[in-house]
Amino acid sequence: MRCDHDQLAPLQVLKALERQHNLFSFRVDGWSAWRIIRNPVYRMTEGLPLAQPSRSNGRRSVKALLATFKLLWLLITGTRRELLVKTCRSGLRMPQGDRFRDVYFDGLLARGHSSLKLEEINSPDFEKQALAACRPADLDSVVFTFWGRILGSLFPVRAKPFCRMVAALLTQGVGVPVTSSWLLARLSTVYWQARLYSLLLARLQPRAVLVSDTGEYALRIACHRRGVRFIELQHGVFDAYHPDAIPTWVEGPASELLLPDVLACRGDFWIEQLATTRQGRDHAVAVGNELIDLARERRRRRTPDARLQIVLTTQGLDSERLARWIASMLAAAPRARDWRLSIKLHPVYDAQTRAFDIFQRESRVRVIGGAEQPNVFDLLVDADLHLSIASACHFDAAAIGVTTVIVPLAGHERMLELVDGVQIFLARTPADVWALAVPHVAEAKFTHRFATPLFIDNLQRLLS
């Protein structure tokens, strides 16, 4: 999935520099330093207009101090657990009666595995769900970041020459103003995080560690040192253009490059997208997604409605322009068409946005917060059409059998090569949406490419 032409030049320069200077080869404590800093550097180089969730450093510090006591208690009294899982609070999106299940791991844990659950509080809007969680988290993972940063500032790793070289390359060659002290701080934080995670793993002695997203570098380092299997779930769009996807030309053991033992992808489509990466070549396995399994079953039982049901999912990406684009789309709606639009906000990046308030008075439009119900999969079950800019929800919709349309705003270019005229389309103008709203039935062999059926069974097999 390509980046747009404005971003292409600096990204290509960056890729050339990392190969020319063999940046992956420099090791800190046995692991690739460039691997740790590559993702944020790539994101800065892209420069996409992505909203950032608000965070209170004071509140996070208080939470970290409280979590410190829990961590110490676990290190002193903790018993062996079969699994350690790390999830995020925004994963509490599956209602079960008056409680909420984590969409990533609760289905697997319900099969009787003893476990310890780490949770990253990545959104302030899921407090209610956390209080009603079916399986509450045992520990807030902020404790590892907090102490990693403190110890990293007091006892930095020996990587100053490397950081100075990389900072110069980025500033002069790519035009990304990065300081060597910032790079060193990130490396030092991961170093000490890994040490702390190793202590926890030594106490728990789990068979496997499962994480819900890429970028868990410190936990991966700790798993290698303790001989624990590390399984990473695909989170969102993860393909060869993702900065955490390591090209096949990069040499070195998987442990030094911080590659997972298993990358649990949603479907064969994603393994194909990763064919030119170390993950795709050596570690990717198709396992599916539980919410897609449930949505497919419900969609088979639904009763079609004459009213056109449209779902638009946001990403915190180019939100102001997206709101104006939607307004133009609604203005172009055929008068004889009966329709409803549900705008589902991103659970993290659009938590504070006011860009879509302009639709509050439109009776046929509802704006649904990221932490509010229904969740996006509930909406897709009854949808006739899905819209987004460049979201993983495009592929979730395709996996469920819903026609999905790319909105041509910032970042959409990475999706263009996937337009197939069958399930995935491009709306060149807002008015094009109404012509694309044609009912069709997708074949299972097509939808299953995006998400393999039977997620929990497949994940269970990875543990055997």
Residues of the domain holding 254: 10-286
Does 1 fall in a domain? no
At which of 286, 312, 332 does a domain end?
Answer: 286
Question: With pLDDT > 90 as the criterion, what percentage of the chain qualifies?
Answer: 79
What is the pLDDT at residue 5? 39
Task: Scan for tokens 């996070």, then name that residue.
Answer: 60
- Those residues whose C-beta lies under 8 Å from the C-beta of residue 245, and which sit 6 or more positions away, are 238, 239, 274, 277, 278, 279, 280
Does 340 fall in a domain? yes
Does 427 fall in a domain? yes
pLDDT for residue 7 is more than 60: no
99-101 and 94-96 as β-strands: parallel, antiparallel, unpaired? antiparallel
Identify whether residues 328 and 250 lie together within a single domain: no
Tally of domains in the chain: 2
d(CA 36, CA 224): 16
pLDDT-based confidence at residue 49 (cuts at 50, 70, 90): low
Considering the entire predicted model, what is its pTM?
A: 0.90
Identify whether residues 322 and 248 lie together within a single domain: no
Sign of CA pseudo-dihedral 444, 439, 431, 309: negative
pLDDT-based confidence at residue 2 (cuts at 50, 70, 90): very low
Identify whether residues 315 and 367 lie together within a single domain: yes
Q: Look at 4-18, 330-344, 382-396 and tell me which has the smallest mean pLDDT.
A: 4-18
pLDDT for residue 3 is more than 70: no
Does 461 fall in a domain? no
Identify whether residues 146 and 263 lie together within a single domain: yes
Query: What are phi and psi for residue 139, nearest 5 degrees?
Result: -155, 135
Identify whether residues 151 and 63 lie together within a single domain: yes
pLDDT for residue 391 is more than 70: yes
Identify whether residues 382 and 274 lie together within a single domain: no
At which of 225, 255, 286 does a domain end?
Answer: 286
Sign of CA pseudo-dihedral 166, 9, 48, 384: negative
Does 207 fall in a domain? yes
29-56 average pLDDT score:
85
- Domain with 104 in it: what CATH number? 3.40.50
Identify whether residues 211 and 297 lie together within a single domain: no
Identify whether residues 261 and 376 lie together within a single domain: no
Does 464 fall in a domain? no
The chain-wide mean pLDDT, for the chain, equals 92
What is the pLDDT at residue 317? 83
Write the pLDDT tens digit of every residue in 190-214.
999 999 999 999 999 999 999 999 9
Cβ distance 318 to 391 under 8 Å? no
Identify whether residues 322 and 267 lie together within a single domain: no
pLDDT for residue 6 is more than 50: no
Identify whether residues 281 and 296 lie together within a single domain: no
At which of 286, 320, 340 does a domain end?
Answer: 286
Write the pLDDT tens digit of every residue in 215-263.
999 999 999 999 999 999 999 999 999 999 999 999 999 999 999 999 9
Write the pLDDT tens digit of every residue in 124-160.
889 999 999 999 999 999 999 999 999 999 999 999 9
Identify whether residues 296 and 273 lie together within a single domain: no
371-396 average pLDDT score:
93
Q: Look at 30-34, 91-95, 206-210 and tell me which has the smallest mean pLDDT.
A: 91-95
Identify whether residues 268 and 312 lie together within a single domain: no
